[in-house]
Amino acid sequence: MPWTVRDSMTQGGPYVTVVGAGHGGRGLAAYLSLSGYEVTLYNRTIENVLEIQRLGGIHITGIVEGFAPLRLVTDDMGAAIRDSDMIIITVPANAHAWIAERMAPHLRSGQLVLLMPGRTGGALEFSQVLSANSCTSEILLGEAETYVFVSRMTGPSSVHVSKVKNYVRVSAFPAISNRRFIRRLRRLPLSFKLADNVMETGLDNMGAMLHPAPTILSAGLLESRGGGYNHYHEAISPTVARLIERMDAERVSVARALSLSPMTLLEWFEESYDATGANLYDAIRKVDAYRGVGSPSSLHHRYVLEDVPTGLVPISHLGRLVGVDTPAIDAVVNMACQLYERSFWHEGRNLSRLGLSGLTPADVIEYVNTGMRAVEVSLLEELWSIYGMEVDEV
């Protein structure tokens, strides 16, 4: 049964800014508001949130019900984050760099910034953009491997939240900040578990496996019908599922080459949905939550425009770094480039954008754990040795 917010439920929690007023952002903002948190909602296109701004809040139904008042609804980044303790970014991952550029002048030390989700390399790219824009504020930056809600907009100022996930895995960048990061996040009415580092959260990117290939291979049906089919139960046929299995095997091999312990898609389905099967196709057919899921209504959809440049492209580049071939993943990226007549290889997250150029696999893990590249560590060790200090003393 859904519950309705009561006056006694307001807890006086931290000020939170939700960046992005799509399905996920509206659900999160409303849920946090009804849980007693002061919430600001930022959206870069103010026209899309004018009704929420006029009302001063969002109507929410589903697992929680009521009118969720918001502290501020704005397209002014400075005003949006000025007084916030936590900033949760829910925009598509291909907009992370744009958001980081505009956030850089306004961030202040002590704020927490969570990308939900980061996809593959989100926190790494975000950090690079902040540095390029001369942001020196000491923030707690991190990412979630996926989004915490299942939610859908139901009107100009309303949202339906049908499920809050049992937990999502998160990590700070660098991972040495993980304990402080999770302590802060536990102030929210959501469940988080720590991953080892952002390489682990980034390479457990299941959306990049499940979204692009079925969408691209259904392009004719999608365009002629304008969608109207079930993405998971109709677009993922036995043959398409076998292609996804090959892509997933490549993703897992890349992660293992970085000394990580990734979940396979089959393991993820069992953990997330209690769905098992002899193969991926069988497991997907047993996910009841997918029965009501529709399809994109056009090819201009995040299943490709987000998941290819911020999922498949960086996984492929990481594969090259660790010496793992990714022919199935590369084929889907190349097909997307041809179908959309644009270079996702150029647009997407490469090693340079992630700050990983010139690093070895061991260097990559050192970097995501400490925030320092091998050359920087060597220089510090040399400096510290002059003063007779050990690295662990600092």
Instruction: Give the residue numbers annotated as catalytic, written as ranges.
Output: 211, 307
C-alpha angle 381-386-389 in degrees, rounded to nearest 5:
65
Q: Which two tokens stand for residue 339?
A: 């179908």
CA gap 294, 229 in Å, rounded: 6
Closest CA to 52 of 60, 163, 36: 60
CA gap 112, 199 in Å, rounded: 19
Asked if 214 and 240 touch (Cβ cutoff 8 Å), the reply is yes
CA gap 389, 383 in Å, rounded: 9
User: What are the CB-based long-range contacts (under 8 Å, 24+) for 43-47?
Assistant: 43/73, 43/75, 44/75, 44/98, 45/75, 46/74, 46/75
Q: Which residues contact 354 (CB under 8 A, 6 or more apart)?
A: 121, 124, 125, 128, 314, 317
Q: Which two tokens stand for residue 144?
A: 């979630």
Phi/psi at 100 (nearest 5 deg)?
Answer: -60, -40
Exposure string over 52-81, b if 16+ CB within 10 A, otherwise e? bbebebbbbebbbbbbbebbbbbbebeebb
Q: 4: helix, coil or strand?
A: strand
Calculate the CA 177 to chain-centre distance: 19
Q: 8: helix, coil or strand?
A: helix
16 pairs with which residues across the strands? Answer: 39, 86
Which residue has 């980034």 as its token pair? Answer: 202
